[in-house]
Chain A
Amino acid sequence: DSGVTQTPKHLITATGQRVTLRCSPRSGDLSVYWYQQSLDQGLQFLIQYYNGEERAKGNILERFSAQQFPDLHSELNLSSLELGDSALYFCASSVAITNREADTQYFGPGTRLTVL
């Protein structure tokens, strides 16, 4: 158990819909990262927040957005869903401000999103 929790574990929805994925980081970690893992693309970095502020953006689509709240939990919002958005979405947390620092990221168990 990494100490990072994600809800829900599974989500099935239809194209065009909007969903929200939730992540609670490990106690004491201020950075939260979101990743997408699909069968054909592998793992991709989406976005990072540190203490409520966006720190870095990866390959995040405009239809996707995220935020980190004062209690440090984070939400990833996916809208106008397409079939290709079906994937595992992972959240990770660390103490570092940025990934440039060589500290350990702890991953949650993931949310499996299926878009029908």
Chain B
Amino acid sequence: KNQVEQSPQSLIILEGKNCTLQCNYTVSPFSNLRWYKQDTGRGPVSLTIMTFSENTKSNGRYTATLDADTKQSSLHITASQLSDSASYICVVSASGAGSYQLTFGKGTKLSVIP
């Protein structure tokens, strides 16, 4: 069964500090992995997308890594800002014959405090 596990469930950090969110998956056959940021009550916003051959991708202060061998991904946030407070969702796509399946993690809720 395809699964995506995110940790921690929630995290509180001080403004200006760095943090790392984890995503472990058991999805096969792997197609791509996406990280989204979702503010409360708003639609998710894409941060990064990585395919099998990519192991690092950056988007400003956000850097995602992918280890396809261990089936782990991380999202590192540098110099956090209050506006980084949101839920971060990991989504893994599995491709099949002519179609695909999406498996979502339950997200990590990040709170950045002054």
Taking beta carbons and an 8 Å cutoff, which residues of A are in contact with B?
2, 4, 42-45, 55-58, 88, 90, 92, 98-100, 102-110
Contacts and interface: CB of A to CB of B under 8 A. Distances in A.
B27 to A, nearest CB: 13
B101 A58 contact: yes
Q: Is the interface of B mostly helix, strand, loop or mixed?
A: strand
Contact of A43 (B32, B50, B89): B89
B45 A107 contact: yes
Given A99-B102, A100-B31, A110-B41, 13 more contacts: A42-B104, A42-B105, A42-B107, A43-B91, A45-B102, A90-B44, A92-B43, A100-B95, A102-B50, A102-B51, A104-B46, A107-B44, A109-B43
A55 B98 CA distance: 9
Interface of B: 31-32, 41-46, 49-51, 89, 91, 93, 95, 99-102, 104-107
**Highest count of chain B CB atoms <10 Å: which of A44, A55, A106, A107:** A107
A37 B44 CA distance: 11
Q: Which 9 interchain pairs have the tightest Cβ spacing?
A: A107-B43, A45-B102, A102-B49, A100-B95, A43-B104, A102-B32, A104-B46, A100-B31, A42-B106
